[in-house]
Structure 1
Amino acid sequence: MTTTLITGGNKGLGRETARRLLAEGHTVWIGARDETRGRQAADELGARFVQLDVTDDASVAAAAAAVGAQGGLDVLVNNAGIAGSHADPADLTGADALAVLDTNVAGVVRTTTAFLPLLRASAAPAIINVTSGLGSFAAVHDADRIESTVVAPLYTASKSALTMLTVQYAKAFPGIRVNAADPGYTATDLNGNSGPQTVTEGTDAVVALALQGADGPTGTFTDRSGTAPF
């Protein structure tokens, strides 16, 4: 049986990913900062809960120990992320930038490093980093795509960094499938539920990557239509 951990799994794309993978027979851990909300989501879905704040080294280490004590891990979905400041770009500060990067990039580094020993013990390990087309040079320069109309310097930069981090991890860990998944413009709290896609549509790429076997691709940037240009 495949065991999967989803960070930020108590709502939105994370929760829907958990629901769908549970239906596929995965054992799913929902990682969440807020214990009350995380436990409630896990109880409602039939998942397991682990307290996990990706910005806190001690929290991440404790979560890895808890999951390891219950049998290990096969798939890590780095889903937790924040939009960051909505200030005018001219008013953004270094602190604003660090807050976004701490969750969206450094948080993935913390979590990946902590869970790497468990993944290396799996027969078919995988890491899926939930990125965004807003961090794709191809998408933001394509006038036919909504990404080209968005100005959000910090969030977009963090997702560009996350996608490149994915490529580098894929090279560094040849025994682990490491891929970046772009949900597309999906209605979630992150965008005030303004996206035209449902959370089910938005999780198509993540779920597809999670269900692939050991011979699946690595180092890709994928959306619900398949491999996408970066």
Structure 2
Amino acid sequence: MKIVLITGANKGIGLETAKQLSKKGLFVYLGSRDIGKGEAIVKELKEKGFENVRAIEIDVTQPDTILSAKNTVEKEQGHLDILINNAGISGIVPQSALESSIDSFKEVYETNVYGVVRVTQAFIDLLGKSSEPRIVNVSTSVGSLSLQSSPDWPPYDYAKMVVYGSSKAAANMYTVHLAYELRDTAFKINAVCPGYTKTDFTNQNGGDVEEAAKRIIKYALIDQDGPTGKFFSEESNPETGEIPW
């Protein structure tokens, strides 16, 4: 049975991803900043017949909770097969390159960039004990420099979120370097945009959360012939899924 950790998984796309992976027979650690909320969700899931799901406290901005979560997974499982860095925040909107405060940048980067680095570095040894380790960094097409700078991109005039977008671009660069450093190993590491989805994050606008989760899971379960160090958005590119950085 493969072991999965999903950060920010007590609602939205993270929760749906946990549900679908559980149905596929994987053991899922449902990461939540508020362990009470996480445990309440897991209780509901088990009442609905979901198995192999366990709530675990992990706040990606708090190193002590990350270390505690790592120690728990190590004690209970001995390894980790899949890490899905899903936790993220959008920050205060609207976002202007001239008017957004440094504090706004710091707050968003703390979760979207530093949080990804903290969690990945903390769990890398446990992932290394897996025969097929996978890391999916949940990203967004809004973090693509190529698309953001192209007037031909459909959302060009309304997807201008400089704080959020730049944080995801930075996390994308981390993905590139991480994949490069682990290129000669069994690791597969990719950035995946689940698409514009109906969640609290988008004020319930966009596509179905079930489809968004499927897009993440596709790259969490790729085989050894699958890609690494790539950026995928099947919403932006339905043909191959890959989009430019």
Normalised by the length of structure 2, the TM-score is 0.89
Question: Residue 190 of structure 1 is aligned with which of 172, 179, 201?
Answer: 201
Question: What are the within-5 Å matches in structure 2 for residues 97-116 of structure 1?
Answer: 97-116=105-124
| Counterpart Cα distance in 1 of 2:233 and 2:135 | 15
Q: Is 1:85 matched up with 2:92?
A: yes
Per-residue displacement from partner, 1:156-199 (whole Å, max 9, x unpaired)? 0011111111111001122211100011111111121122x111
From the superposition, tell whether residues 123 and 147 of structure 1 become closer, same or farther in structure 2 (CA, over 3 Å).
farther
What's the counterpart of residue 180 of structure 1?
A: 191
The residue number in structure 1 matching 2:41 is 41
Question: What secondary structure, in the 3-state scheme, does the structure 2 residue paired with 1:227 have?
Answer: coil
Is the deviation greater in 11-20 or in 86-95? 86-95
* Residue in 2 that maps onto 1:61: 67
Which structure is higher in helix share? 1
CA root-mean-square deviation: 1.4
* Distance in structure 1 (CA, Å) of the matches to 2:81 and 2:67: 17
String of CA shifts for 1:67-114, please: whole Å, max 9, x gaps.
111112100000000011225524321111011001000000000000
TM-score of the pair, normalised by structure 1: 0.94
Contact 1:133 1:147 in 2 (8 A): no
Inter-partner Cα distance in structure 1 for 2:81 and 2:40: 24
8 Å contact kept, 1:123–1:214: no
Contact 2:95 2:162 (8 Å CA) reproduced: no
Give the secondary structure class of the aligned counterpart of 1:91: coil
What is residue 7 of structure 2 aligned with on the other side? Answer: 7
Cα distance change on mapping 1:148 and 1:220 into 2, 3 Å: farther
Contact 2:95/2:161 (CA < 8 Å) preserved in 1? no
Partner of 2:175 in structure 1? 166
Query: Which ranges in structure 1 are unaligned for 5 or more consecutive residues?
Result: none
Structure 2: segments with no counterpart, 5+ residues: 46-50
> Which shows bigger deviation, 41-50 or 76-85?
41-50
1:20 equivalent in structure 2: 20
Q: Distance in 2 between matches of 1:38 and 1:13?
A: 14
State how far apart, in whole Å, the 1-side matches of 2:15 and 2:76 are: 21
Question: Once the 2 structures are TM-superposed, how far is the Cα of residue 137 of structure 1 from its aligned partner?
Answer: 2.2
Letter of the 2:219 counterpart: L
For residue 151 of structure 1, report the CA deviation from its aligned partner.
1.9
How many residues end up aligned between the 2 structures?
229
Please give the secondary structure, in 2, of the residue aligned with 1:31.
strand
**1:229 partnered with 2:244:** yes
